[in-house]
Amino acid sequence: MDHILPYLFLLACPVSMGVMMWMMMRKDHGHASPPVSDPRVAELESQVNELRMALHDRQDGGGAAATVPAASSDKD
């Protein structure tokens, strides 16, 4: 039994890697799940689009270097 134990330790890593790869391959069969939409992400994307449009309008109209206005913070 003493001479088998080192071989078991040597085989533990490749065998476990093979099992993990097999489990990962059969988990979702290569199909990606659709992303979950978050309303906060949609709001941020709309704000980015608004800022891009404002920057584009400034560059077209003024001809000078445009700066994006800082977001105002509501202090209540």
pLDDT in tens, 4-17: 888 888 889 999 99
Dump pLDDT digits (tens) for 24-72: 888 666 566 666 788 899 899 999 999 999 999 999 876 555 455 555 5
Cβ proximity of 48 and 31 under 8 Å? no
pLDDT category of residue 3 using cuts at 50, 70 and 90:
confident
pLDDT of residue 72: 58
The pLDDT of residue 73 is above 60: no
Q: Mention every residue, 6+ apart, whose C-beta is less than 8 A from residue 69.
A: 54
Sign of CA dihedral 7, 10, 14, 19: positive
Owner of token pair 């992400």: 41
Assign residue 34 a region (left: φ > 0; alpha: ψ between -120 and 50; beta: otherwise): beta
